[in-house]
Structure 1
Amino acid sequence: MARAYLFLTVFIPLTFLFALSAIIGTLFDASGRIYAAHARLWARLSLALVAVRVTVVGAENIPAGPVIFMSNHQSNFDILALLAAMPRQLYMIAKKELFDIPVFGASMRRGGYIPLDRSDGRRALKSMDNAAAIIRSGKSVVMFPEGTRSTNYQLLPFKRGGFMLAQRAGVPVVPMTINGSGRINPAGRTRIYPGNITITLHPPILPASAASRNEAESRLMTQVHSAISSSLEL
């Protein structure tokens, strides 16, 4: 537990400083490259604080153009691992409330991250349509279809929202399996251990047409679930 508190003592001010610096960087670079470089360096420094290494397997499965990456979610370290090691500039989709956090939320907005408003059905659908348009314009995003962290490494039931978004965006979905992060920072526990995280990228899946939108979303959900499960270490 002492390791976790020492980590947070450095991580919190480091996050604030990088968020502020990234905001300034966006004033001089509208492409997002400076922001992405900030995010990658922040993630790598954060992982180095607790001796965590990340390996990416299957990078050749990432197609050209925008994609939606869908991954299992075991730990707060999943996002750090993805930002630190993925060979593609990533944008996060996050609940709207996170964008209200001082400095951090402003940094996310300036970095092009996408808020989803889940306060009611109408706003949620409008927010999803906006997100789909942003993805089609060229941004590759990351989503965790479980919606929360798993406490036993097994996949939780998927939420439907990510698959609704994938059908609306009409871009390839690349399933990812993250192993090891749950052992480094177990969900619901204030403990951090050194170790290794492996990110396995599976072949892309194209959203397919079907007799109904619900059928298409269900089919995509089943395919993504099967791909992530195929490399999951329990």
Structure 2
Amino acid sequence: MLRAHLFLLIFIPLTFAFAAVALLCTLFDGTGSAYHRIACAWSSTSLWMAGVAVAVTGQEHIPENVPVIFMSNHQSNFDILALYQAIPRQFSWIAKEELFSYPVFGHSMRRAGYIPLDRSDGRKSLKSMIAAAARINQGSSVVIFPEGTRSEDGALIPFKKGAFLLAEKANVPIVPVSISGSGEINPAKRRWLKPGTIRIRFAEPISETAQSGRKRTELMDQVRAAIAANLEI
């Protein structure tokens, strides 16, 4: 508990400091490249402070030179930090709308092209997915947690349909991502922190051809099975 409080004492102001610098960078760099490098530096610094390492396998499965949708399970807040270190390319987040309301931090996310998802209203959620698909079609990869929230015990919880609606509209490869160990470092709804290693594994991509003509539920089942197969619970 003490370690968690000390980490938060430093992490919160550090996050706002990095967000402010990243926000300034967006005024001069419209590509988001500088913003992404700063976000990666923020994540590596935060992981180091927490005593957390990231072990990555399967990067060779990520298609080159094309945008993709990374679909990952979600165990803790440290998943975001770890994915910045694991994904070897610039990407955008599809994140819950509440995060975009934070001063500086939220504004910097909007300037970087991250996409807010309003889950309280079906029509607004659809609008978010259309915006995300447009960004993907411009060449950006995105990350989304199809569970929609964190798992409390590390086991997969039911997927939301929104991620797969996005896949239908974007028509790009899906890369399933399995995160193991982050729930032990910082469990959902718990305020304690344990140093350790987060293990991330990328599965083989599901191509546009493999997605074509399939029912949404079938694609959901395939992605779920691919993530589950590489989970270490």
Normalised-by-shorter TM-score class: over 0.9
d(CA) in 1 for partners of 2:224, 2:61: 17
Alignment of 1:1-234 (within 5 A): 1-64=1-64, 65-207=66-208, 208-210=211-213, 216-234=215-233
Aligned-partner Cα distance in 2 for 1:148–1:162: 13
Per-residue deviation at 1:209?
A: 2.5
Percent identity of equivalent pairs: 58
Structure 1: 5+ residue stretches without partners:
none
Unaligned runs of 5+ in 2: none
What's the offset of the Cα at 1:96?
A: 2.3
Distance of 1:231 and 1:180 partners within structure 2: 12
Task: Give the AA of the match of 1:222.
Answer: D
- d(CA) in 2 for partners of 1:181, 1:24: 31
Indicate the RMSD between aligned Cα atoms, in angstroms. 1.2
Structure 1 residue 80: Cα displacement: 0.3
Q: CA deviation at 1:78?
A: 0.2
Query: Given the two structures, how large is their TM-score scaled by the length of structure 1?
Result: 0.95
Aligned residues: 230
Distance (Å, rounded) in 2 between the aligned partners of 1:229 and 1:84: 21
Relative to the length of structure 2, the TM-score reads: 0.95
Q: What are the Cα deviations for residues 172-211 of structure 1, in whole angstroms up to 9, with x where unaligned?
A: 000000011011101110010100011100010024232x
Counterparts of 1:68 and 1:180, CA distance in 2: 22
Aligned residues of 1:116 and 1:127 also touching (Cα < 8 A): yes
**Alpha-carbon offset, residue 51 of structure 1:** 1.0
Contact 1:56/1:86, CA 8 A, preserved across alignment: no
| Counterpart Cα distance in 1 of 2:80 and 2:110 | 17
Q: Distance in 2 between matches of 1:183 and 1:106?
A: 31
Asked if the contact 1:92–1:113 (Cα under 8 Å) also holds between the matched residues in 2, the reply is: yes
- Which moved further from structure 2: 177-186 or 84-93? 84-93
